[in-house]
Chains A and B, each alone.
Chain A
């Protein structure tokens, strides 16, 4: 019987395998890049009712984070300040600024300002702000250099891999308690961070959960 297939057909399986491998690699690489929070969340900077300038309030005026985010060290939730917190200064400072019109309106009507939430954890994630800031994890670790932002944006990925990176190596991120709200603080050197980090982890018996139920309760 004559050959049913030409000799070149022998190469088809190889070609198919190579094509499949390339397609799979491209799909995996594409999904990993474009569909993970590093790409899909980082840089999110919605228009806010008032373009609240963190850099001005923190760097120039010298306010502490907790002046507005009052409960961050006492609650799992870090509160966005109510209008009267704003008005405690702005009833005397820049009282006529057109930029602050939504604040004055809210103060007059009692309707809260509709801030757009930027940093979201999914509803199946239990994140406790107090547990972190009271054990030497500074705001910047998750929110980036928020003290320098004129308009707040999503700086870090806040993906699960991001959380686990710190949960696995807390000594690289931990800092003394009095430096938690000092957003420009940095250890003198990597070696200093490592030394101090290990000391603090040991001293405070830091043991971040790595099991599923640590965060998905």
Chain B
């Protein structure tokens, strides 16, 4: 049981004399909100992103993204009207870009879930300023990922047969197939992530809602011309209704916060196993087969590490430009970037270890087919892809050992792109090399994607960008209340000074959130 500071002092034996001479080493932690920013600053900074007039760069980016997304639409329209044969799939490579892209996008989502769930349970408070965007990234990545298996079934209008729904035909999915496990894993993952994301935003929606009146006044007064004024009146009314509905009656009462915190914790607990299970099951798509290069027990942990690696790569790719565009340097600090780089380094090294271990086991297992599969990967017809993968995934993150690299945002961003590229190639190498050169040399082949493959994949980046741009334009980019709890000294309402031991005993009893401020900020 925790004692209060006073009780703690009284039950303590008298301090030995020598301790008075000991000067404890102070271990300063970098503040997670820099420059002593006030609550109002944080509210204003984040809310204004959705309140100001739509910036020109947003329109340009949105147009480009939407045009890019139309490539997916074209690719899929052509596929549905013609047949799956328009993809480059054929014997012996029956799985090509479709599964590669699926695993690529699903993997990216994992960083979001890791940040929101595991880091929440581990009380890693630096997660707060990036978790919202990372969760959004997760959901949009799942949307992009889902397209590929959905259309790979061929007759997409029968895709609902993947779910075990009672039907007049009395047929059920093949429960022994890892692909069916994928359906459950990914749909659970998508649902829970979505709930987590939506629920976490409720207090922030309330903040935006409460600011709607002033924003409307400002925007309607600032309108030039009758047409714009009429538009603004309608639009501001829409905003008010939108955020009122989204904030679900949130008033920031203590009861609301109690329920919110409990629900958040429960969902975090529910998400935590999903971080590990989803990519484990994705890896079963390969590992449960008997193909050399796929049939390995290292796949689940190796895939999970790779997923988190690629996810953090994508988080960095997205957050660094956002930080620069919106001047979020005080909230997404160098400490955040350092942490993300270190996780990327750690998971990248795990992935590198897995590559090495696969080779070792192929040799140690003395199975000629397994041995060939790996030698063929590195030196066969797809060796170019293998070496791109190695240089992007194993070598480039090692640069994060150096502080000077981590401090250079531009360089971090470039490396994060390398990580994304490398992880795509990893899935390509795994999928295609094993299929193209399996047991029977007479059936070997060389796989190349068709134009439709390329269009469909290229377009998903547009789709992802469209969704992400809509997210930053209409939804709160950061968990305001959680970030505020970290802004010292305001986030520590009783302000316990700097003495180490005292502040620790007290902190355990201090509420994490500074609730009273929420929703009545202005």
CB-CB < 8 A to B213: which residues of A?
1
Chain A minimum-CB-distance residue to B244: A4
In Å, the complex CA distance between A165 and B171 comes to: 11
| CB < 8 Å neighbour of B168 from A4, A5, A161 | A161
B241 at the interface (CB under 8 A from A): yes
Task: Return chain A residues, CB-CB under 8 Å to B240.
Answer: 4
How many B residues, CB 8 Å from partner? 10
- The 0/1 profile, CB within 8 Å of B marked 1, for residues 1-19 of chain A is 1001100001000000000
Scoring A residues 156 to 195 as 1 if CB is less than 8 Å from chain B, else 0, what string do you get?
0001110011000000000000000000000000000000
**Chain A contacts for B168, CB-based, 8 A:** 32, 36, 159-161
A160:B170 contact, CB within 8 angstroms: yes
Measured between C-beta atoms, what is the minimum distance from B157 to chain A in Å?
15
CA distance A4 to B249 in the complex (A): 10
Near B by CB (< 8 A), chain A positions 1-52 give: 1, 4-5, 10, 32, 36
The answer on a CB contact under 8 Å between B169 and A159 is yes
- Across the interface, do B210 and A161 meet the contact criterion of CB distance under 8 Å? no
- Interchain CB contact under 8 A, B210 and A1: yes
What are the residues of chain A within 8 A of B249 when measuring CB–CB? 10
Residue-wise interface mask of A (129-171) relative to B, using a CB-CB cutoff of 8 A (1 in contact, 0 not)? 0000000000000000000000000000001110011000000
**Contact flags (1/0) for B198-222 with A, using CB distance below 8 Å?**
0000000000001001000000000
Contacts of B169 on A, CB cut-off 8 Å? 159-161
Please measure, in the bound complex, the distance between the C-alpha atom of A32 and the C-alpha atom of B244, giving whole angstroms.
41
> A5 contacts which chain B residues (CB < 8 A)?
244
What chain A residues lie within 8 Å of B210 (beta carbons)? 1
Give the docked Cα–Cα distance between A161 and B167 (Å): 9
A159 to B169, CA, bound (A): 7
A-contacting residues, B176-215, CB 8 Å: 210, 213
| Contact residues in B for A159 (Cβ distance below 8 Å) | 168-169
B215 to chain A, nearest CB (A): 13
Inter-subunit contact B171/A160 (CB<8 Å): yes
Task: Give complex CA distance A160, B168 in Å.
Answer: 8
A160 and B161 CA atoms in complex are apart in Å by 15
Q: Return chain B residues, CB-CB under 8 Å to A10.
A: 249
Instruction: Report Cα–Cα, A165/B168, bound state, in Å.
Output: 12
Kindly list chain B residues whose C-beta atoms are within 8 Å of the C-beta of A165: 170
* B205 smallest CB distance to A (angstroms): 13
Contact residues of B between 236 and 287, Cβ < 8 Å to A: 240-241, 244, 249
| Dominant secondary structure at the A interface | helix
**Chain A residues with CB below 8 A from B241, complex form:** 4
Give the docked Cα–Cα distance between A1 and B215 (Å): 14
C-alpha spacing A159/B210, complex, angstroms: 59
Contact with A along B85-125 (1 / 0, CB 8 A): 00000000000000000000000000000000000000000
Min distance, Cβ A197 to any Cβ of chain B, angstroms = 20
CB atoms of A164 and B244 under 8 A apart: no
- CA–CA, A10 and B213, complex, Å: 22
Q: Which residues of B contact A164 (CB under 8 A)?
A: 170-171
Chain B: which residue is nearest A163 at the CB level?
B170
Q: Which residues of B contact A32 (CB under 8 A)?
A: 168
A211: nearest chain-B partner, CB-CB: B174
Verify B244–A161 contact, CB threshold 8 A: no
How far in angstroms is the closest Cβ of chain A from B243?
10
Q: How far is the CA of A16 from the CA of B249 in the complex (A)?
A: 18
CA distance A1 to B207 in the complex (A): 13
Quote the shortest CB–CB distance from A38 to chain B (angstroms): 8
CA distance A36 to B210 in the complex (A): 54
In A104-128, the 8 Å CB interface with B consists of: none
- Tell me how far the C-beta of A24 lies from the nearest C-beta in chain B, rounded to whole angstroms: 12
Q: Kindly provide the distance from the CB of B16 to the nearest chain A CB, expressed in whole angstroms.
A: 60
Interface centre among B170, B210, B241 (most CB of A within 10 A): B170
In the complex, which residues of chain B have a beta carbon less than 8 angstroms from the beta carbon of A160? 168-171
In the bound assembly, the distance between CA atoms of A10 and B244 in angstroms comes to 12
Q: Which residue of B lies closest to A212 (CB)?
A: B171
In the bound assembly, the distance between CA atoms of A159 and B171 in angstroms comes to 12
With A and B bound together, what is the CA distance between A165 and B169 in angstroms? 10
User: Complex: how many Å from CA A186 to CA B210?
Assistant: 78
Distance (Å) between the CB of A37 and the closest chain B CB? 8
CA distance A4 to B216 in the complex (A): 15
B170 cross-chain contacts in A, Cβ below 8 A: 160-161, 164-165
Report the bound CA distance from A10 to B170 in whole Å.
Answer: 40
Docked Cα-Cα span, A1 to B244, in Å, equals 12
Could you say which residues of chain B place their CB within 8 Å of the CB of A36? 168
Chain A nearest CB: distance from B181 CB in Å? 19
List the B residue with the shortest CB-CB distance to A1.
B213
A32, B168: Cα distance in complex, Å: 7
1/0 per residue, CB under 8 A from A, across B348-363: the answer is 0000000000000000
Q: How far is the CA of A5 from the CA of B171 in the complex (A)?
A: 47
Bound: A36/B249 CA distance, A: 46
Which residue of A has the minimal Cβ distance to B245?
A5
Chain B, 425-454, contact with A by CB distance < 8 Å: what is the 0/1 string?
000000000000000000000000000000
**How far does the alpha carbon of A65 sit from the alpha carbon of B168 in the complex, in Å?**
32
Query: A67 to B251, alpha carbons, bound, how many Å?
Result: 85
Distance of B226 from chain A, by nearest CB (Å):
26
Q: Closest CB of chain A to B418's CB: distance in Å?
A: 44
Chain B residue with Cβ nearest A36:
B168
What is the distance, in angstroms, from B326's C-beta to the closest C-beta of chain A?
A: 27
Please, which residue of chain A has its CB at the minimum distance from the CB of B171? A160
A143 vs B24: C-alpha distance when bound (angstroms) = 93
B47 to chain A, nearest CB (A): 16
Interface of A toward B, CB cutoff 8 Å:
1, 4-5, 10, 32, 36, 159-161, 164-165
20 inter-chain pairs at a CB distance below 8 angstroms, sorted by A residue, are: A1-B210, A1-B213, A4-B240, A4-B241, A4-B244, A5-B244, A10-B249, A32-B168, A36-B168, A159-B168, A160-B168, A160-B169, A160-B170, A160-B171, A161-B168, A161-B169, A161-B170, A164-B170, A164-B171, A165-B170
Can you add 8 more A-B contacts, CB < 8 Å, to A1-B213, A4-B241? A1-B210, A10-B249, A36-B168, A160-B169, A161-B168, A161-B170, A164-B170, A164-B171
The 7 closest A-B pairs by CB, nearest first: A161-B170, A160-B169, A36-B168, A164-B170, A4-B244, A32-B168, A161-B168
